[in-house]
Structure 1
């Protein structure tokens, strides 16, 4: 019997990650937790949330899906999906389609060292009232934390959402 047939553990290679995605590879996988929302025109609320970041090694892009639900009943609240395209120079382009029909084209920056991503809307489409959205993600003590700010036709940029998610 040679060493190969006597081996009890199969040989596995680490997952291949596209070089453009490597600085943000810590995002890959599923994150779940809770968040809080509010805005001057709506009542404050709490929600459960799950984010999923996926990647195909042949593409310089991260797939993104998000869903939220009411904590009390589990009833779905909001969902969105899109693609994140990190660039080697520390910039990032993001497109997101939301379940309410709104679409976002965002640009921003990321820091692999600080594990932080800042996004600013370039275009908010199909929204009669929303004029601007900013998102900031950061890995803090192993949790993916984010905050979202929003501006409308009549209200300047205000805090809208914040959450802390744990990797599953």
Structure 2
């Protein structure tokens, strides 16, 4: 006779009404917790401007870190998906009172550590370190700005890559699900 199944004990949630309690250190990041979807615009030197759809998830498991996952798809002018574009994972960690860091990894072989400030519902970070594989896009820096505006998550990513200085790369507006 086997013991009753206690359930999977390592729950992670993007819904604050279920799962483990949010760690007190994450209170400055509380506005981000959840699942978000929307669209945006992208472009960079050497690539044609594009429209994309995106889903972002900020979740926690009771520890003082937010898990982050972003998936994007290139879309046509009617909003229909044409193909997957980018997928990245990361962890947002509050540091001192109004500071945050983001450790980020994407499928293109690029990783970055970004650090910055939290000002209410505004989160601004710049790269402190970049690591990339030999086959990765030659990213040398990033600046990211996230903010909750009228209940939506807006963001802009500036990127330095392939010998270029920081310049606009992607921006979007996402709605909480």
Shorter-normalised TM-score: what interval? 0.7 to 0.9
1:156 is matched with 165
Matched, 1:46 2:51: yes
Of the three residues 96, 106, 122, the one matched with 1:98 is 106
Count of residues in correspondence between the two structures? 154
Report the Cα offset of residue 74 of structure 1. 4.5
Structure 1 unaligned blocks of 5 or more: 1-11
Of the three residues 32, 45, 58, the one matched with 1:27 is 32
Matched, 1:77 2:85: yes
Report the Cα offset of residue 88 of structure 1. 4.2
Of the three residues 119, 133, 145, the one matched with 2:142 is 133
Could you tell me how far apart the structure 1 residues matched to 2:104 and 2:37 are? 19
Does the 8 Å contact 1:62/1:84 carry over to 2?
Answer: yes
2:61 is matched with 56
Secondary structure in 2 aligned to 1:149?
Answer: strand
Secondary structure in 2 aligned to 1:24?
Answer: helix
Does the 8 Å contact 1:21/1:86 carry over to 2?
Answer: yes
Does the 8 Å contact 2:74/2:85 carry over to 1?
Answer: yes
Secondary structure in 1 aligned to 2:75?
Answer: coil
Could you tell me how far apart the structure 2 residues matched to 1:40 and 1:97 are? 22
Could you tell me how far apart the structure 2 residues matched to 1:20 and 1:87 are? 9
Could you tell me how far apart the structure 1 residues matched to 2:18 and 2:45 are? 51
Q: Moved runs in structure 1, 4+ residues, more than 6 A?
A: 12-15
Does the 8 Å contact 2:34/2:176 carry over to 1?
Answer: yes
Is the radius of gyration larger for structure 1 or structure 2?
1
Structure 2 unaligned blocks of 5 or more: 1-16
